[in-house]
């Protein structure tokens, strides 16, 4: 009987150890980062501006917050990445094309950058993958809004400040 009572006390105490999402929001307010599961095994991590609208979104395969060892790069189908990018930054809101298809490759790692008036879209991929294998490793959507932090583009050059 003592063992059963002890187990119940430990179970009840351990259930209250980790704070829930509502508890954290009540304590600290709105989050400036969130991660969503947008497809099975694919997440979108969003950084918000002070106006609570997205500034940057990173799309990629699910990764644990803390890696038990060296992180392993996994890939997702390019079709899924394209669909998710279209959902989060539809062509109609991107604005005029500035530079489409800029790319950089080093070994099997490649990156494609598409610049629009209102957004930059960067896609990382495995250039050595077989044609039918998932090839994309991640995509980033960077919204060009005054309230958002200025970030470097695909080639490490800082975005010019708006006048």
Inside any domain, residue 2: no
Whether 62 maps to a domain, the answer reads yes
The answer to whether residue 96 sits within a structural domain is yes
Per the structure, the count of domains in the chain is 1
Which H/E stretch holds residue 55? strand 54-61
Q: Is 138 inside any structural domain?
A: yes
10 within a domain of the structure (yes/no): no
**What pLDDT is recorded for position 19?**
86
How far is it, in rounded angstroms, from Cα 106 to Cα 140? 19
Q: Is 24 domain-assigned? A: no
Its domain, for residue 130, covers: 29-143
**Long-range contacts at 101-104 (CB < 8 A, ≥ 24 apart):** 102/154, 102/155, 104/154, 104/155
The full DSSP string for 80-143 is HHHHHHHHHS-HHHH-SEEEEEEEEEETTEEEEEEEESSEEEEEEEETTS-TTS--EEEEEEEE
CB 37 within 8 A of CB 62: yes
pLDDT of residue 162: 45
- The model's pTM: 0.77
Query: Per-residue pLDDT for the chain (163 aa), expressed as one digit of tens each?
Result: 666 555 555 555 555 688 888 898 899 988 889 999 999 999 999 999 999 999 999 999 998 888 777 767 788 888 899 999 999 999 999 999 998 878 887 888 888 899 999 999 999 888 787 777 768 778 999 999 999 988 765 444 444 444 4
Q: Report yes or no on 161 lying in a domain.
A: no
Compute the distance between CA of residue 111 and CA of residue 34 in angstroms, rounded to an integer. Answer: 24
Flag whether 111 is in a domain: yes
């Amino acid at each position: 009987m003592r063992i059963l009572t002890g187990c119940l006390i430990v179970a009840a105490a351990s259930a209250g150890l980790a704070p829930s999402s509502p508890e954290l929001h009540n304590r600290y307010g709105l989050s400036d980062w969130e991660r969503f599961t947008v497809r099975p095994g694919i997440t979108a991590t969003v950084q918000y501006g002070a106006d609570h609208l997205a500034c940057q979104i990173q799309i990629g395969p699910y990764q644990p917050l803390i890696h038990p060892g060296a992180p392993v790069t996994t890939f997702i189908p390019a079709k899924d990445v394209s669909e998710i990018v279209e959902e989060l930054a539809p062509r109609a809101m991107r604005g005029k094309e500035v530079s489409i298809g800029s790319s950089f490759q080093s070994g099997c790692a490649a990156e494609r950058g598409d610049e629009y008036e209102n957004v930059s879209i960067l896609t990382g991929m495995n250039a050595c993958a077989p044609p039918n294998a998932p090839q994309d490793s991640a995509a980033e959507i960077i919204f060009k809004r005054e309230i958002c932090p200025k970030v470097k583009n695909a080639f490490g050059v800082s975005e010019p400040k708006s006048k």
